[in-house]
């Protein structure tokens, strides 16, 4: 599991806050290079993510990729660059590349859904709580405290176990722990916003609360939640992998990066690549989302 947990993301502030490299006096050359470095900061991770998404969702449509399941047992354990199996096949004769792509679909879909639910439900609850204050706020905060004291993986495991393994239930189980995190962030963002003069002005001029919430708060905490959601994409992908790895996520034979790693682990000595490929896919995806999230954050915080 990633160590980028939500609380720390709050506590951490911005890891890149220090001005980039106060190098000594600079000629225009390095300066221009630095401008480029800034563009690349967003460009590289976005490019990688687009590439991964396209590969997973359009790749199997455009290119003729073998099915990810029900492979021919006679074709099991083929090495890389075999005929028709670029990355070879696993013990069941399933094409590894195909499983990677379909597994990616599942991981990305789950991560997007979990974050969407987190941002909409958690963000909404948090904003409402911060805006309304009072008993609603107190009760919600106490409930969030409970969730935060609760070891998140254990909670997710238990929920996944009680609901049974499926994509939908995995989304549900993971939402359990992404909602409180987003709620806390959006609540504290709203509280900070409320200090600002324009909010006071809006409230004094008698604008209804829900309007203040929609018109003023949503656009202002949007960027913050977006960058958190990007960081959280990585976390969710990793935890989803962990669930599948423990047999509680996406049920086999359907592929997911987590259950591919788990399957491969059992023959780690003989066929290490069965673990290596999904691990690389997982890592590159997570790194891309983390990079994007962090760079977005340093962008809006330096604004």
Partner 1 sequence: MTLASTPPRAAALTWLSGAWAGVSSSPILRIIIKRLLMAIPIMLGVSILTFWVLASIPGNAAQLQLGINATPEQIATLEKQLGLDQPAIQRYLDWLGGLLTGDLGRSSVSSQPVTSLIADRLPVSAELVGLAFVLSLAVSIPVALVSARRPGGIIDRIAMVIAATGQSIANYVLALLLVLIFAVKAGVLPAIGFTPISEDLGENLKGMVLPTLALAFPLMCFYTRFLRSDLVDQLQREDYVDTARAKGAGPWRVLLRHAFRNSSFGLITLVGLNVSVLIGVTVITEQIFAMPGLGQLLLQGINTRDFVVVQDLVILFAAITVVVNLIVDLLYVILDPRIRYGSR
Partner 2 sequence: MSADPALTDVRPADAPAGGTGPADAPTASPGTAPGAPLLSVRDLRVMFTRPGGGRVFAVNGLSYELRAGRMLAIIGESGSGKSVSSRAIMGLLPPSATVTGSIRLDGTEIVGMPERRLRQLRGTQVAMIFQDPTRSLNPTMRIGLQITEAIHLHNKIDKKAARARAIELLKLVRLPAAERRFHDYPHQLSGGMRQRVMIAIALACNPKLLIADEATTALDVTTQAQIMELLVDLREQLGMAVIMISHDLGLAASYAQDVVVMYAGKAVEQAPAEKLFARVRMPYTRALLGAIPRLDATPHSLLPVIGGQPPNLSVMPTSCPFRPRCPVASDQCAEIPPLLEHEPEHRWACWHPDGPGAADQAAPVAAAGAGGAAGPAVASAQPPAAAGAKTLTTPGRAGSATGQGER
Where do contacts with partner 2 occur on this chain (CB under 8 A)?
19-26, 28, 30-32, 34-35, 38
- What's the rounded Cα separation, in Å, for the pair 11 and 246? 30
In the bound state with partner 2, the residue whose beta carbon lies nearer, of 37 and 54, is 37
- Cβ atoms 160, 248 nearer than 8 A: yes
Shortest Cβ distance from residue 98 to partner 1 (Å)?
21
- What's the rounded Cα separation, in Å, for the pair 187 and 191? 6
In the bound state with partner 1, the residue whose beta carbon lies nearer, of 120 and 283, is 283
**106, 110, 286, 292: residue in contact with partner 1 (rule CB under 8 A):** 286
**Which of 153, 128, 152 is CA-nearest to residue 141?**
128
Quick one: which segment of 3-11, 94-102, 115-123, 218-226 binds partner 1 (CB under 8 A)? 3-11
In the bound state with partner 1, the residue whose beta carbon lies nearer, of 86 and 157, is 157
- Cβ atoms 293, 227 nearer than 8 A: yes
Asked whether position 72 contacts partner 1 by CB under 8 A, the answer is: no
Where helices occur in 63-165 by DSSP H, the ranges are: 96-117, 123-132, 134-149, 152-163
Chain-centroid distance, C-alpha 123: 16
In the bound state with partner 2, the residue whose beta carbon lies nearer, of 33 and 209, is 33
Q: Torsion over CA of 154, 111, 300 and 130, rounded to 10 degrees?
A: -50
141: left (phi over 0), alpha (psi -120 to 50) or beta: alpha
Asked whether position 188 contacts partner 1 by CB under 8 A, the answer is: no
Find which of partner 2, partner 1, none residue 34 binds, CB within 5 to 8 Å per kind.
partner 2
Shortest Cβ distance from residue 127 to partner 1 (Å)?
23
- What's the rounded Cα separation, in Å, for the pair 261 and 196? 49
Shortest Cβ distance from residue 242 to partner 2 (Å)?
39
Residues 124-163 that bind partner 1 (CB under 8 A): 142-143, 145-155, 157-159, 161-162
Residues 6+ apart with CB under 8 A from 266: none
Shortest Cβ distance from residue 292 to partner 1 (Å)?
11
- Cβ atoms 115, 229 nearer than 8 A: yes
Shortest Cβ distance from residue 10 to partner 1 (Å)?
8
Shortest Cβ distance from residue 245 to partner 1 (Å)?
6
- What's the rounded Cα separation, in Å, for the pair 190 and 183? 10
**Which residue has tokens 């399941």?**
69
E-only strand ranges, the chain: none
**102, 228, 245, 277: residue in contact with partner 1 (rule CB under 8 A):** 245
In the bound state with partner 1, the residue whose beta carbon lies nearer, of 8 and 205, is 8
Residues in the site for partner 1, rule: CB under 8 A? 1-5, 7-8, 11-23, 142-143, 145-155, 157-159, 161-162, 164, 234, 238, 241-242, 245-246, 261, 265, 268-269, 272, 275-276, 279, 282-283, 286-287, 290-291, 294
């Amino acid at each position: 599991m990633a160590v980028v947990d939500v609380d720390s993301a709050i506590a951490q502030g911005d890891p890149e806050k220090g001005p980039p490299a106060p190098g000594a006096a600079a000629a225009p050359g390095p300066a221009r290079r630095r401008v480029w470095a800034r563009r690349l900061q967003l460009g590289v991770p976005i490019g990688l993510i687009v590439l991964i998404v396209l590969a997973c969702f359009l790749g199997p449509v455009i290119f003729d990729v073998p099915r990810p399941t029900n492979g021919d047992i006679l074709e099991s354990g083929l090495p890389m660059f075999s005929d028709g199996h670029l990355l070879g096949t696993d013990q069941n004769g399933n094409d590894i590349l195909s499983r990677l792509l379909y597994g990616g679909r599942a991981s990305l879909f789950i991560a997007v859904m979990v974050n969407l639910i987190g941002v909409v439900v958690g963000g909404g609850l948090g904003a409402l709580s911060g805006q309304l204050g009072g008993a609603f706020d107190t009760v919600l905060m106490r409930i969030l405290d409970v969730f935060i004291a609760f070891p998140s993986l254990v909670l997710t495991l238990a929920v996944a176990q009680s609901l049974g393994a499926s994509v939908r239930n995995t989304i549900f189980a993971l939402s359990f722990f992404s909602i409180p995190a987003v709620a806390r962030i959006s609540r504290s963002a709203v509280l900070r916003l409320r200090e600002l003069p324009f909010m006071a002005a809006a409230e004094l001029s008698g604008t209804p609360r829900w309007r203040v919430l929609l018109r003023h708060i949503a656009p202002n905490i949007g960027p913050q939640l977006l960058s958190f959601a990007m960081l959280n994409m990585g976390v969710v992908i990793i935890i989803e992998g962990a669930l599948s790895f423990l047999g509680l996520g996406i049920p086999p034979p359907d592929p997911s990066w987590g259950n591919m790693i788990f399957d491969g682990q059992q023959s780690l000595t003989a066929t290490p690549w069965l673990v290596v490929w999904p691990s690389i896919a997982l890592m590159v995806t997570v790194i891309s989302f983390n990079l994007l999230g962090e760079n977005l954050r340093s962008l809006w915080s330096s604004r």
